[in-house]
Structure 1
Amino acid sequence: MSVETRDVVADAADAAALASPPLLVIEPLDAYLDSVGMARGTLAWHRIGDGQANITYELRRGRDRLVLRRGPRPPFPPSAHDMVREARVVATVGAAGVPAPRVVAVCEDPDVIGVPFYLMELVEGHVLTDALPRGYADPRDRAATVNEAVDTLARLHQVPLEGDVAALGRPAGYLERQLRRFSQIWPLNTRREVPLVDQVGERLAAAVPSEPGASIVHGDFRLGNLMFAAPGLIAAVLDWEMAALGDPLADLGYLVATYTETGRPTTPMDLTRVTALPGFPTRAALVARYAEETGADVSMLPWYEALALWKSAIFCEAMHTRWLDGERPGDAFAPTLAEGVPALARAAAEALDRLEEGER
């Protein structure tokens, strides 16, 4: 059976015949699209990106195009992959002026495709990951693109925590909650010994920075989650699953940790390898620009980079374990995490070493 056959089926009977749940069930999805006013016609679909957590499809019917966002195949913890909450976040930040897709509808009924999902408008543009689209050959355009990403992050962190934005969470103690949560889920996610993961967690807990103030924290802010309408012009910030209120430097640390730079060790979280090409700014330049835009003290940034890498090691281990259990069939990424998770832990330890040595 092909991956596509396992992923998309015609109706509930076909879904029930599979060993693991499909991602789309066309007959009930068609009926739901009728209910939200999508144009009539034959439904066509296309998976967007290769997301390892939540999954995104472009839907076409008649003259209309929408994007469907859903969680991965279950089982997963009840608090994870909360599409209803993510849709609320996207709508809230969009209303606050952050470039985000418009939410069209939220479906909480698991009988439609098996899990809750939401629909949003389709945003046209390019996502930069392993290859550059046309129009990014000029080094000045490459620099402008990354600079706009940093500036957008700075603007996100300057959104006032008022009204609906303030209702998105509890900002105080964000870093301690992150450390506690991921320390607790590590033993649940793994079946092997990776002592460095525990050691990094202990080092992080022993050196928690004083939080500089609260902001919206995207939680997964990287070039691969930005849609560019043109070089230097962001059409939308995507993938708000992990958004919260908390320490803004957590976003900057994650951006740096996922940003490829020649001469730095690579990890499975090097998700924008194009940035190793000539003309793209260095990590240090990203950090300096953010500090200039916000006035933030970035002297502790290696700690935040280590936090991002350590958390990545833990959720990547969950992917690897689910693959071992046969819950991620056809996944080419999960097997690489046998070595990738220890590599993430080593990179986190190296970031903490830099902090202790007074380097950025």
Structure 2
Amino acid sequence: MSDSLPGLDLDAFASWFGPHRPDAGPDWSAELIAGGKSNLTYRVGDGRDTWIVRRPPLGHVQATAHDMAREFTVMSALAGTAVPVPGTIALCEDESVLGARFYVMELVEGTPFRDAEQLSTLGEETTARLADSMIDVLAALHAVDPDEVGLADFGRPQGFLTRQVRRWGMQMAGSRTRDLPDADRLLAHLSDHVPDDGGTPAIVHGDYRLDNLLVVPSDADPVKAVVDWEMSTLGDPLTDLALLLVYDRVAALVPGLGVSDASGAPGYPTSEELLTRYAAARGLDVGALSGAMEFHLGLAHYKLAAILEGIHHRFVAGQTVGGGFDHIGDAVEPLLAAGLRAATGRD
């Protein structure tokens, strides 16, 4: 099959997928969906139907990252809740098929908005409504009882934040290609200021942001699916909220980076407005919530810096697929510096 792509051998995929779809057609094709800088996502069709295939990136895959079984499990569990997710079809744990674990899910029609220019065509009112819906879906996720959807053993909430600091410290250490002194300073500060475990643990997405949502802006409920669940677990829900706020800052920190600048669109709410809406949706005191965010914002900056350093590592090793990776590494040091300011109350 001539449409095979790096990381996706169509002959091997079609042979494996056949038992799951015995009525599949003979005209297989595939395309790499643009925009992914971590896991690889493909649109695969048989001439009649179309599905989405997700697999880890090529090369430099750390043991705790890019967990396809985790994505498949959490999306399957959330089907039927207030959190919109794609329908899951099949998980392949036999790495001999495509060289890594992968899974197949239903195609959901919707747009992952990344750019202020995209949003500006919608108008301020629609942009504001879309951002509000994004927060409402996050609050709905954090309100799901893990026990009720079969995810009681999906993570270990006790000691979650301590493990998060340790995990992302290890991720950074395993990906570093250069001297990053602020990484050491921020990691030391976070290690010394981990909050006590408190509150009811929630299902945490781990990478929640606007361009991980498939949306139809004209609909009353515009968010049609939350995707990219590879870092989901049970833990402190404020880690999701903090990371979302940090994602909104990256384009301003490093202009021209090529990451999402959606928060710059007219009508997009401020960080304070997003935090206030989340507090209202969860029934939390907004003042107390704001005061709890210093550590979480510092951790979110560090986590995103570690993710981007990992992508930069693959880029310099020639192991990325597609374009747009040239300057990803430029964001790492500004993120670490901003994280130090946030964690120490200077931001």
TM-score, normalised to structure 2, is 0.89
Residues of 1 paired with 2:189 and 2:53: CA distance?
40
Instruction: State whether residues 254 and 330 of structure 2, in contact with CA within 8 Å, keep that contact through their aligned partners in structure 1.
Output: no
Report the number of matched residues: 337
The CA deviation at 1:269 is 8.7
Secondary structure of the equivalent of 1:166?
coil
Instruction: State whether residues 116 and 265 of structure 2, in contact with CA within 8 Å, keep that contact through their aligned partners in structure 1.
Output: no
Secondary structure of the equivalent of 2:79?
helix
Secondary structure of the equivalent of 1:253?
helix
Structure 1 equivalent of residue 183 of structure 2: 197
Secondary structure of the equivalent of 1:272?
coil
Structure 2 equivalent of residue 76 of structure 1: 61
Secondary structure of the equivalent of 1:224?
helix
Query: Are 1:23 and 2:7 an aligned pair?
Result: yes
Secondary structure of the equivalent of 1:286?
helix
Structure 1 equivalent of residue 225 of structure 2: 236
Structure 1 equivalent of residue 270 of structure 2: 282
Residues of 2 paired with 1:261 and 1:286: CA distance?
16
More moved, 192-201 vs 105-114: 105-114
Residues of 2 paired with 1:225 and 1:241: CA distance?
12
Query: Are 1:88 and 2:73 an aligned pair?
Result: yes
Question: Closer, same or farther in 2 for the Cα pair 1:317/1:218, shift >3 Å?
Answer: same
Query: Are 1:252 and 2:236 an aligned pair?
Result: no
Structure 2 equivalent of residue 161 of structure 1: 146
Question: Closer, same or farther in 2 for the Cα pair 1:153/1:269, shift >3 Å?
Answer: farther
User: Which of 348, 355, 358 matches 2:339?
Assistant: 348
Instruction: State whether residues 4 and 29 of structure 2, in contact with CA within 8 Å, keep that contact through their aligned partners in structure 1.
Output: no
User: Which of 163, 172, 182 matches 1:177?
Assistant: 163
Tell me which of the two structures has the higher relative contact order, counting C-alpha pairs closer than 8 angstroms and 6 or more residues apart.
2
Structure 1 equivalent of residue 324 of structure 2: 332
Query: Are 1:104 and 2:79 an aligned pair?
Result: no
Structure 1 equivalent of residue 302 of structure 2: 310
User: Which of 49, 73, 78 matches 1:64?
Assistant: 49
Residues of 2 paired with 1:75 and 1:201: CA distance?
23
Q: Unaligned 5+ residue runs, structure 1? A: 10-21
More moved, 224-233 vs 234-243: 224-233
The CA deviation at 1:318 is 2.1
More moved, 132-141 vs 77-86: 132-141
More moved, 91-100 vs 211-220: 91-100
The CA deviation at 1:101 is 0.5
Instruction: State whether residues 59 and 67 of structure 1, in contact with CA within 8 Å, keep that contact through their aligned partners in structure 2.
Output: yes
Residues of 2 paired with 1:250 and 1:78: CA distance?
22
Question: Closer, same or farther in 2 for the Cα pair 1:244/1:267, shift >3 Å?
Answer: farther
Structure 1 equivalent of residue 19 of structure 2: 35
Instruction: State whether residues 260 and 274 of structure 1, in contact with CA within 8 Å, keep that contact through their aligned partners in structure 2.
Output: no
Instruction: State whether residues 99 and 237 of structure 1, in contact with CA within 8 Å, keep that contact through their aligned partners in structure 2.
Output: yes
Instruction: Render the CA deviation track for 1:141-175: whole Å, top value 9, x for unaligned.
Output: 11110001001101110101214121211111111
Instruction: State whether residues 171 and 247 of structure 1, in contact with CA within 8 Å, keep that contact through their aligned partners in structure 2.
Output: yes
Secondary structure of the equivalent of 2:248?
coil
Instruction: Render the CA deviation track for 1:72-122: whole Å, top value 9, x for unaligned.
Output: 113422332121222111111224442100101111122222211100000
The CA deviation at 1:332 is 3.4
Question: Closer, same or farther in 2 for the Cα pair 1:142/1:260, shift >3 Å?
Answer: farther
Instruction: State whether residues 176 and 313 of structure 2, in contact with CA within 8 Å, keep that contact through their aligned partners in structure 1.
Output: yes
Instruction: Render the CA deviation track for 1:154-207: whole Å, top value 9, x for unaligned.
Output: 111010121412121111111100101122333322242111011011111222
Secondary structure of the equivalent of 2:12?
helix
Please give the residue correspondences for 1:78-157 in structure 2 after superposition, counting only pairs within 5 Å: 78-130=63-115, 137-157=122-142
User: Which of 191, 209, 213 matches 1:222?
Assistant: 209
Question: Closer, same or farther in 2 for the Cα pair 1:8/1:256, shift >3 Å?
Answer: same
Residues of 1 paired with 2:300 and 2:47: CA distance?
42
Instruction: State whether residues 102 and 120 of structure 1, in contact with CA within 8 Å, keep that contact through their aligned partners in structure 2.
Output: yes
TM-score, normalised to structure 1, is 0.86
Instruction: State whether residues 57 and 320 of structure 2, in contact with CA within 8 Å, keep that contact through their aligned partners in structure 1.
Output: no
Residues of 2 paired with 1:148 and 1:54: CA distance?
26
